[in-house]
Structure 1
Amino acid sequence: MTVKLLLVSVTTAVAIAPAGTTARLAACPLVFGHGGYPTGANPWTRDQIRQPNHPRGVNDQQAWGADGVEGDVQLTREGTKAVMWHNTTTNGLTGVNRAITDLWWAAGSDNLRDRSVARGPYQGEGVYTLRQWLDHVRSRGLVALLEIKPEAKNVLSDSAHAASGWREISDPIKERQGAQRILLYSKDTWIQGELAKRHPGLLKGSAARWTDSVAWEEPPPSWTGNTAQWQSVLGQTPASVMTNYTKDYRAWLSGRCA
């Protein structure tokens, strides 16, 4: 009886941990931090302006473990300035609510430069130009992921202002891309096609794959509802992912990749 038990024990041990082998973890993906935006009806009424379109937001994403940040590019009136802002209007900023494309950057008393975030964790932050944002992202050693917002199409497709609008977007990118990793995309198919012509080597493509499954709301839902989707996406060994839960996702990754 003693001999039989010993044989079973040895056989089991060999099956579990063959001599001379070690488990190999897949490489961790780059993590791109994103700001959550509410879903459902009238989301702008609940938006707490969490997008990292300013230095404080970028700094927080880095502190939470991000390798890169996603920012939102808009154009002011007649394509005169590329700025970092996510909403179609100035909803969430001080001053009278206006469409971004109706405002001048600095001219006049009702301009965009002199407004600031009116609510949420980044209350008091200003609006920044694309150049300012790219410079700050580079100073923090992060990858820049730019979404050209659909509202910019009105300017970019207008023969009277398209040239200045595209210069505002493209020139800051061209000036920095040799020393800074920059990725681009747009949810507007026409803008995406133009980006493919103008910046073919910088398109996001499959990089920064979305990994969350929980729909964002305010206050933010628990990160734990994402774990099944996080595991599914990680199992496909993506090069990079995008998440609204940067700090929680980075902690969850610990021990699951190398």
Structure 2
Amino acid sequence: MPRPHRLAARLCAAALMLGALLVPQTATAATTTTACPGIFAHGGYPTGPQAWERDRIRQPNNPAALRDYRSMGAVGVEADLQLTRDGTKAVMWHNDTTTALTGSGAHVNTLWWNTGWDRLNGRTIEVGPYRGERVYTLRQYLDAVHGLDMVPLIEIRSPARQSLLHSDSTIRNRAWAEVLDPISERIDRQEIMLYTHNDAIRPELLARAQAAGLGHVVSYGSHRPVWPDTVPWEEPPPSATGNHPAWQAALDKAPRRMATSWPAQMRDWMKGRCG
């Protein structure tokens, strides 16, 4: 029979060995926790007929909206770029027309920015949570995004083809300069992403961006957010609950970033699911 002091020593050694075995397992469990992706906010736009009549202009195209979405946990936003008449000014606005803005009704690409009685500069939003906010130029917008330490994913809207693909090379080149020069001036200090859904604009965008040394701004990869929302947006906003299965399926793939029209709800949903 072992002496008492030898038995105690053996028990102590066994305890140390057990502790050594348990520590790596605990550490491994901690390191396998899925990292939470950065949330990109996308202001919802209604679906169906006459959607513009129900739209509340929630798109993150102005500083007030940016501050709101930042407070909801968003690290980035999906924003919208239009060009005024003949590509003379790149502006941040989602809709093709001035619906929901003060002043006369018109297509944005038929207006001058700072000239004429119906100019776009100075008009303000008439509906929704950002009532009273105005339309901003791309340069102003990029500075506002940078000040909030957010990342913009900017969509060139289809009406911009009026100047970006114009038969007059002077108009065409000026329009592309309006889009790309503000980005070139700021790309060393902030991340900026640019894209379009328009099939006619896309090849010219890729060629012009690469020629300007901005190929990475239009490139696709893991830095681009995934878009898992499945619930159509409407006004008033519907519940985000129906998105949860798609959010989980996306999260299971460990994306770097996820975009949604429900940023605050996605932030709360992620709690306990990633770290």
Q: Is TM more than 0.5 here?
A: yes
CA shift for structure 1 position 252: 0.9
Q: Partners of 2:208 and 2:36 in 1: how far apart? A: 31
Q: Could you report, residue by residue, the CA deviation over 1:25-80 in whole angstroms, capped at 9, with x for unpaired residues?
A: 11211211110000111211111100010000000111111111111000000100
Q: 2:120 aligns with which of 112, 117, 133?
A: 112
Letter in 2 for 1:73: L
Q: Does 1:194 align with 2:216?
A: no
TM-score, structure 2 normalization: 0.85
Residue in structure 1 matched with residue 39 of structure 2 by the alignment = 31
Q: Partners of 1:180 and 1:210 in 2: how far apart? A: 23
Higher helix share: 2
Q: 1:64 aligns with which of 72, 76, 85?
A: 72
Q: Could you report, residue by residue, the CA deviation over 1:99-137 in whole angstroms, capped at 9, with x for unpaired residues?
A: 000100011111111211010111110000000000000
Q: Secondary structure of the residue that 2:100 maps to in structure 1?
A: coil
Residue in structure 1 matched with residue 17 of structure 2 by the alignment = none
Letter in 1 for 2:230: S
Residue in structure 2 matched with residue 10 of structure 1 by the alignment = none
Letter in 2 for 1:119: V
Asked which structure has the greater CA Rg, the reply is 2
Q: Could you report, residue by residue, the CA deviation over 1:135-179 in whole angstroms, capped at 9, with x for unpaired residues?
A: 000011111111111110111000321111001000000000111
Letter in 1 for 2:220: G
TM-score, structure 1 normalization: 0.90
Q: Does 1:121 align with 2:136?
A: no
Count, aligned residues: 241
Q: Partners of 2:137 and 2:121 in 1: how far apart? A: 9
| Superposition CA RMSD, Å | 1.3
Residue in structure 2 matched with residue 224 of structure 1 by the alignment = 241
Residue in structure 2 matched with residue 166 of structure 1 by the alignment = 176
Where structure 1 has 5 or more consecutive residues not aligned to the other structure, the ranges are: 1-17
Identity across aligned pairs (percent)?
47
Letter in 2 for 1:28: C
Q: Does 1:215 align with 2:223?
A: no
CA shift for structure 1 position 204: 5.4
Q: Partners of 2:36 and 2:172 in 1: how far apart? A: 40
Residue in structure 2 matched with residue 203 of structure 1 by the alignment = 218
Contact residue 86 and residue 162 of structure 2 kept, 8 A: no
